Amino acid sequence: MTATQNLGGQTTGLPSRATQKAGSSNSAGPVSRSGRRKRDSQAKAAWLFLTPFIVIFVLLTLVPVIIAVVMSMTDMRATDLRNPFNVDFVGFENFANILTNQEFLRSVLNTGLFVILCVPLSMSIGLALALILNKGIQRLRTLFRAAIYLPVITNIVAAAVIWQYAFTPTGPANAALGAFGIKGPNWLGDPGWAFALVVVLGVWRTIGTCMVLYLAGLQAVPAEVYEAASMDGASRSRQLFSVTLPLLRPTTLLVSVLMTVSFLNIFEEPFLLTNGGPLGATRSIAVWVYEQFGFGNTAVSMAGSFLLLVLIGIVALIQFRVLRPKH
């Protein structure tokens, strides 16, 4: 300790400010160095765990996207795959042709309608089921959850075959309508009914995912929030719109992005149920790209898939901007 002199000329045993500052700086040095070492080790561990994902992402996503973009600017066809360097560079000609192709524009319209119809239906039904299963049903709750989630894990090929049989002109659906004296329509042969069936099949497959995600969000809401709202005199409907839905905003963003991306990429339902028909009424962008690849138009299919990727990115960005939590 160093002695300091007070106003009366007496000395005290308290350390001076300079001494305190020097001591504190000396003691802070080892702590800061140890903190830096700890952060460095944590950063190395994080990069170590991220390395497998980065390698898989680069090899299976980034590199194929780059190759697809390069191929989309050539005149490559299926016959050129054996000699991929024997092609001509055409720039953005494929993109220009696609954007003026009536079949592609029709598939864009169909895909947009799938998103506009299926996403709100899947989210609203999934939210309603989650609310019911969270507090409305007490017995056999696990059984109901499993039953609702079952279509998500059901083989889509088997489901499509069953739906095709059920909605044939002489199938069970028309037989049930005939029992009430109603003549059933040609479900898969009429453009309007075929489109409606694809929408119903898509919603049927995705409400389980929405239900599970919303249920997880509801269970994360503290019970004290509802107790405080009840003490303030809020009714059930008021709690739903003033407490539950605002607190579910991050979950809604996640579900919205997942469902939108899923239906922008919709392929199995229209391809297996109607093969994009009748008259292209259910052909989505993914089905159109698949057909072009099957026709041997490799470069055109790559250009179409890249346009779909850009569309998905733009829609996801808009959703993040609109639905992100407000602080």
Residue 264 in contact with residue 285, Cβ under 8 Å?
yes
* pLDDT value of residue 326: 63
Q: Tokens for 85? A: 């360097």
Residue 285 to residue 265: CA distance in whole angstroms: 7
* pLDDT value of residue 24: 46
* pLDDT value of residue 136: 65
Residue 96 in contact with residue 299, Cβ under 8 Å?
no
pLDDT in tens, the chain (327 residues): 444 444 444 444 444 544 444 444 444 445 477 778 878 888 888 889 999 999 999 999 889 888 888 889 998 888 877 777 788 888 899 999 999 999 999 999 999 999 999 999 999 999 999 988 887 666 777 888 888 899 999 899 999 999 999 999 888 999 999 998 888 899 999 999 999 999 999 999 999 999 999 999 988 888 888 888 888 777 888 888 888 888 898 899 999 999 999 999 999 999 999 999 888 999 999 999 999 988 988 899 999 999 998 999 899 888 888 877 665
* pLDDT value of residue 327: 58
Mind listing the domains of the chain with CATH numbers? 101-323 (1.10.3720.10)
Q: How is residue 15 annotated by DSSP?
A: P
Burial of 190 (0-12, 13-18, 19+ CB in 10 A): middle
Q: How far apart are the first and last CA of the chain?
A: 51
Residue 188 to residue 282: CA distance in whole angstroms: 10
Query: 3-state SS of the chain: helix, strand, coil percent to 5?
Result: 75, 0, 25
Look at residue 180 and give its three-state secondary structure.
Answer: coil
Nearest in space to 302 (alpha carbons), one of 90, 52, 24, 6? 90
Tell me how far CA of residue 182 lies from CA of 5, 19, 175, 177, 195, in angstroms. 107, 98, 9, 5, 21
* pLDDT value of residue 324: 73
| Beta strand segments in the chain, E | 4-5, 11-12
Residue 259 to residue 274: CA distance in whole angstroms: 22
Nearest in space to 282 (alpha carbons), one of 165, 185, 194? 194
Nearest in space to 150 (alpha carbons), one of 219, 213, 209, 198? 209
Cα 119 vs. chain centroid, distance in angstroms? 11
